Amino acid sequence: MPRLGVNIDHVATLRQARGGREPDPLGAAMLVELAGADGVVVHLREDRRHIQDRDLILLKETVQTKLNLEMAAEESVAKIALNVRPDLVTLVPERRQELTTEGGLAVAEHPERLQVIITLFHDSGIPFSLFIDPDVNQVQAAHSIHADSIELHTGPYANSSRLKEEQAEFENLLQAATLASKLGLGIHAGHGLNYQNVKRLTQIPEITELNIGHSIIARSVFVGLDRAVREMKALISTPFQSQG
Ligand code: PXP
């Protein structure tokens, strides 16, 4: 059964909407852990649209499970990560105007762009993961530059509107996870996962961690954070049964 990392960025999004102090992502981190999350995920974006530097420092002091910091492969944020020392750094591509992370890193095309940052993390002993599309070339490239783990981008799977399309995207994830497992990489997955589409991914046992944010925080508005996390945890903890 995969571990559940809960991304709490959107708790901070709500706080930033008024520029005040509530709701506090620190409280959210404690609640998701109490509800059974195996880790807390935050993205310190260059434009600081939700999580702030102070949140990250306090989360490092508070999180008892695992703190996974998503960040762009950019030196100013890397310096912060090196000081705070999260349990894992996940490198993601970042474009200023995007609503959320839009695609995986182009590791196969531009491995040199990641080299400086990767060397910094290697030297400091902080494990890092690369957010990539479910593509065997990207998996191979991530292995070649000595990533500890990969996070497979599940956005295309999650957004597929037809069964045939979903099947093709699922097979891409399966193929990428199978290769990554053979290469000895840690395998995580995330983006766009919700209470309807997550269960099928439990058919890929190579995926050991799912990182989920928006759907959990959205549901928590109606049912509370505790119940929203418990319901997601229950979904990924019970075996998938085909609907015939
Ligand atoms: N994984 C990565 C690398 C992401 O950038 C995000 C979004 O911040 C997520 C997982 C979570 O995606 P969602 O909010 O759609 O569940």
Helix H or strand E encompassing 90: strand 88-91
Q: Is the pLDDT of residue 20 over 80?
A: yes
Give how far the C-alpha of residue 233 lies from the chain's centroid of Cα atoms, to the nearest Å. Answer: 16
- Of these residues, 43, 50, 143, 188, which one is catalytic? 43
Atom of ligand 1 nearest to the CA of 90: 3
Measured at the CA of 33, the angle between CA 29 and CA 36, to 5 degrees, comes to 145
Q: What is the pLDDT of residue 242?
A: 65
Residue 244 CA, ligand 1 centroid: distance in Å: 31
Average pLDDT rounded to a whole number, residues 69-90: 96
Average pLDDT rounded to a whole number, residues 20-30: 97
d(CA 138, CA 133) in angstroms, rounded, equals 7
Q: Is 191 a catalytic residue?
A: yes
Q: Kindly tell me the sign of the dihedral angle through the C-alpha atoms of 72, 78, 83, 87.
A: positive
- Ligand 1 is surrounded, with C-beta below 6 A, by 7, 9, 43, 70, 90, 92, 100-101, 131, 151, 190-193, 211-215
Lookup result for tokens 């957010």 = 131
Give how far the C-alpha of residue 42 lies from the chain's centroid of Cα atoms, to the nearest Å. Answer: 8
Q: Which domains are delineated in the chain?
A: 3-236 (3.20.20.70)
